Amino acid sequence: MFRRLLIVAMAFFSVVSSHAGDPDSVWLFSYASTQNGGRNGLHFAWSRDGNEWTSVGNEYGFLHSDYGRWGSQKRMIDPVLFQTQDGLWHCIWALNEEVNQFAHASSADLINWGRQSYPYLLPVTGFLQPAVLYDQHAGSYQISFNGSDNKQFVIATNDFKQYTSPRLKESSSAVHPGRSVVINEREHSGTVHRVSWKMVEQLLNEVQIRRYRSSVEAEDARKDSVRFAGMKSPAVTFKVQTDAAKPISSMLTGVFFEDINYAADGGLYAELIQNRDFEYALSDKEGRDKNWNSSTAWSATGGLSFVIDSSAPVHVNNRHYAVLKTTDGRGVMTNSGFDGIAVKKGEAYRFNIFLKRMDKGASVLLVKIVKANGETIAQASIKNIGNSWKKYPATLVSSETAADCRLELQLQPATALAVDMVSLFPAQTFKGRVNGLRSDLARVIADIHPKFVRFPGGCVAHGDGLGNIYHWKNTVGPLEARVPQRNLWGYHQTAGLGYFEYFQYCEDIGAEPVPVVAAGVPCQNSSVGGGGQQGGIPMAEMDQYVQDVLDLIEYANGDSRTKWGRMRAEAGHPAPFGMKYIGIGNEDLITDVFEERYLMICRAVKAKYPDITVIGTVGPFFEGTDYREGWAIAGRGKIDMVDEHYYQTPGWFINNQDFYDSYDRSRSKVYLGEYASRGTSLYNALSEALYLTALERNGDVVTMASYAPLLAKENHTQWNPDLVYFNNTTVKPTIGYEVQKLYGINAGDVYLPVTITNTEKDEAARKRIATSVVMDSKTGDIIIKMVNLLPVEANVRLELAGLNVSPQQAVKNLLKGKPGDKEATVETMPVNIENVFSDLLPAYSFSVVRIRGKK
Ligand code: AHR
């Protein structure tokens, strides 16, 4: 479809094409502006005479820096463009004022750029006014630059991978090949080259095509009344081609779970006490919130006070605890929960606490659930507290339903006590699991019938800097021994919902576990420990990291006589979990640092566990450097499957239904691990439903797909849209959730192609009606999905000849409404089916008809 779009674009945007009067060659000026904090990337302007300059796309960035975190970084300063003897273009630039690194990337055509590298300049800081010269005598390129102390340095390279250490430049005369040029009345400095007009033409065309694509992708329902004004209901015939049936993946729809938006702690993980381990730290929020520390969510009143200590902890991984002192036996220590604690009348709550008596007096700890008005609605007491750390359980039963409760600890008589790991769980977790999941949230996910669950992220998997990588071993074993850490989304992870709990949940809902581990590098947008992935795990430590990944597979699948299998058995699951997939990396920036570590892990997994499907990564977008380079590595490394990500507009999904139609079937399979259409309206959901018909059509190459992110707690979102919103008492699935569920419960493993005839001839209208017909070979059921994204209803005729459908009353599920609706209910109704039957697709609707098979 996009190729078709490009042809239209040529006509529509009068893409630049050669004319008789065009020059053979012109001047090309390359530069970066200071707009948007210097983040707009590499720009070009051209000139016939070197005096009058015309911008190529005004601020259009042909190359963007990907160094460091969003916001303060990703800057391009003083870029220098030059061509090496082999004709390849290179660009080097400064990243910021502080680091002792610079950036390099190369390109054959100035449009498609290769991977970026960020070589070190140690011990020099600063990379100002760089200049490049070819030293014929030495056969190398000399890069001279000013350090931040204004001294001039030079480094040399042959291949732009290895560089000599900086040495002081002998002559202090600046060698700056750049010049200043005025473009649109602003002066810029940069580099000038003589290039063919054809090259400039290609740059201009690139800008036009991009603009055309953006305009098409910005299409939304608000313009439908104009775009489709006066449209009559089209008559559409879908004719199933039984002879062209093909097998497709039976696990197309699954879920992506990441601890983002308080999805885990305060969300799916049913713990009701916030900061139960007193391990919240200023660093969780990078020091931005002075009140976010070991005492967060805790307070003391009356004659009770507490201090945070770390001198003799329960466990070395859990250093902080509170020491309570009471002078009158009446004061209380309070935990406010996550936005309060919600309890239900008559339900039991499991309380656990680690205690250590700090003086000689006998003491009793009263534990209460108290409503906002001060009324106690559940109470228990803990006695015989010893003078070394020990876990004490209690059960509280609530006499009322209330959403705004708090937990109170009251120490009697006046005495001192150390407390840690203060925990309160509903007894009724999902499937009654201890340390389990909130049943309503776990259920709403299970109701999608996900074929797999990807966890623990997302960015959480590779972390903000090396120290923040999610290590599975930190998340298993006794809760007090797990290693809590900063959640890169700006809060705290207890690791209470850890790998054991993830595997168990997958098993409980019949979904394949798809754990994702970091590829030996943290997130490219890291702020901690230098810029992005240049801080890959040191190679000297990679063997251990690879072993950790192999140990994960043993933990999941090894029998209980193996070291890690035994640990799983001790946690309560002697039988293997039967893990079949592992993701290595998450939308990483593809660099040399990344590739070396990534392939090392992938190869080690395949060598030891050839039956495990390795899922690699191809960057955060559906195109661009990381996508191209990621796919190239996947080809060379024979990676089983790659994880694609794209968050796009509904217009993108509508206009890219052919995205996978021409994918090479001999290459790696695809897991579309993260996608969403940037909104929660019916229109968004229908554009996803439309796109999912295309994914089913390509179910021979697209094996799995998961909408992202999954969960979001109201008032605690870092990312929108999400599939399911919730607060402490209510779960609020979006319409997109209903689409995922309809696909989940109506999956097939055989695709039946359909020929479509449509009385409507307008291409924009035709592509807004889509269908997918699949068969579930276990039941023989035929499932027909039909999407109508037009403002008028469509009359469809379905021809099923060859499928031997017995006349019957089938079930139809229908989702419909106005495009901007944020809520819609699935209606279920009977439809009379024969080999040929007619149906009406309401405007803006998604219909799923399930026809019973003969099995
Ligand atoms: O889904 C939210 C985030 O989007 C994920 O953590 C990351 O992989 C992507 O950028």
632-652 per-position pLDDT tens digit: 999 999 999 999 999 999 999
250-270 per-position pLDDT tens digit: 999 999 999 999 999 999 999
pLDDT of the residue at 534: 60
CB 403 within 8 A of CB 373: no
* Region of poorest pLDDT, from 13-17, 64-68, 265-269, 752-756: 13-17
Nearest to 285 by CA among 724, 721, 716, 709: 716
**740 Cα: distance to centroid of ligand 1 (angstroms):** 19
| Ligand 1 atom having least distance to the Cα of 459 | 6
pLDDT of the residue at 1: 45
CB 310 within 8 A of CB 320: yes
Among 258, 464, 517, name the best residue to mutate to test ligand 1's pocket (greatest count of ligand atoms within 8 A of Cβ): 258
The pairing of beta strand 452-455 with beta strand 512-517 = parallel
pLDDT of the residue at 752: 98
pLDDT of the residue at 535: 72
pLDDT tier at 4 (50, 70, 90 boundaries)? very low
| Ligand 1 atom having least distance to the Cα of 647 | 4
Six-digit token pair at 239?
């004719």
pLDDT of the residue at 767: 96
| Ligand 1 atom having least distance to the Cα of 461 | 6
458 in contact with ligand 1, CB cutoff 6 A:
yes
State the amino acid at position 55 in one-letter form: S
**pLDDT at residue 8 tops 70:** no
588 in contact with ligand 1, CB cutoff 6 A:
no
258 in contact with ligand 1, CB cutoff 6 A:
yes
**717 Cα: distance to centroid of ligand 1 (angstroms):** 13
| DSSP strands (E only) in 197-241 | 235-240
CB 663 within 8 A of CB 620: no
565-596 per-position pLDDT tens digit: 999 999 999 999 999 999 999 999 999 999 99
pLDDT tier at 526 (50, 70, 90 boundaries)? confident
Region 607-624 average pLDDT: 98
CA angle at residue 702 from 696 to 708, to 5 degrees?
90
User: Atom 9 (ligand 1): residue with closest C-alpha?
Assistant: 458
CB 64 within 8 A of CB 38: no
Contacts made by residues 16-23, CB under 8 angstroms, sequence distance 24+? 16/201, 16/204, 16/205, 16/208, 17/201, 18/197, 18/198, 18/201, 22/197, 22/201, 23/48, 23/197
Region 695-705 average pLDDT: 98
Region 158-181 average pLDDT: 82
Region 185-203 average pLDDT: 96
**pLDDT at residue 10 tops 50:** no
Residues sharing a CB contact under 8 Å with residue 770, sequence separation 6 or more, in sequence order: 657, 690, 693, 694, 786, 787
pLDDT tier at 20 (50, 70, 90 boundaries)? low
User: Atom 7 (ligand 1): residue with closest C-alpha?
Assistant: 458
CB 417 within 8 A of CB 385: yes
In angstroms, rounded to a whole number, what is the distance separating the alpha carbons of residues 489 and 260? 6
487 in contact with ligand 1, CB cutoff 6 A:
no
User: Atom 2 (ligand 1): residue with closest C-alpha?
Assistant: 709
pLDDT tier at 527 (50, 70, 90 boundaries)? confident
Question: What is the side-by-side strand order in the sheet with 235-240?
Answer: 754-758, 235-240, 794-799, 836-841
pLDDT of the residue at 804: 85
Region 442-454 average pLDDT: 98
549-564 per-position pLDDT tens digit: 999 999 999 999 999 9
The pairing of beta strand 304-309 with beta strand 364-370 = unpaired
84-131 per-position pLDDT tens digit: 999 999 999 999 988 899 999 999 999 999 999 999 998 999 999 999
Q: Quickly list H helices, 637-707.
A: 650-655, 682-697
CB 708 within 8 A of CB 676: yes
pLDDT of the residue at 522: 94
State the catalytic residues. Answer: 587
**pLDDT at residue 174 tops 70:** no
| Ligand 1 atom having least distance to the Cα of 586 | 8
Q: Quickly list H helices, 360-518.
A: 439-446, 459-462, 499-509
User: Atom 3 (ligand 1): residue with closest C-alpha?
Assistant: 458
pLDDT of the residue at 18: 57
719 in contact with ligand 1, CB cutoff 6 A:
yes
Measured over the CA atoms of residue 756, residue 760, residue 761 and residue 766, the dihedral's sign is: negative
**461 Cα: distance to centroid of ligand 1 (angstroms):** 10
HEC string of 100-117?
CEEEEEEECCCCCECCCE
pLDDT of the residue at 499: 98
Nearest to 461 by CA among 522, 532, 526, 512: 522
In angstroms, rounded to a whole number, what is the distance separating the alpha carbons of residues 722 and 734? 8
Six-digit token pair at 91?
């660009």
pTM over 0.75? The answer is yes
pLDDT tier at 141 (50, 70, 90 boundaries)? very high
| DSSP strands (E only) in 360-467 | 364-370, 376-382, 390-397, 402-412, 416-426, 452-455
Region 490-515 average pLDDT: 98
Tokens 């040495």 appear where?
Answer: 167
pLDDT tier at 175 (50, 70, 90 boundaries)? low
pLDDT of the residue at 463: 94
